[in-house]
Structure 1
């Protein structure tokens, strides 16, 4: 649970600090990756696999809007 919370807090803080249009964003080696290996889609996959540890609010206000953003980036 603490790891999931840390992932959400980290993503929210990065998104706010860098003024991204989505609620969660992560950085790897000074870049913003969207892919499955080190990027946003991989982190979202992990969060969805641990869905039972997320609140409905987390899913609706953080995870889903971030997925919607990711879809627009293709």
Structure 2
């Protein structure tokens, strides 16, 4: 389990230019729901605009939440 971060630190990470850093916020239990929504919306918009890094970060979040691994075959 990760240690809780101060709200100011989470907000600063939400503005990080790296999609991977921002995607990690989506998986943290201490990220407030509103901040999680904003980060996800921003990443989704970047992915829709063709940003492959944002697209890959969102795919990683989906995989992380699915309980599957990259080595699992298709269902």
Same fold (TM over 0.5): no
Q: Which TM-score applies when normalising by structure 1?
A: 0.44
Q: Which TM-score applies when normalising by structure 2?
A: 0.44
Which structure has the greater CA radius of gyration?
A: 2
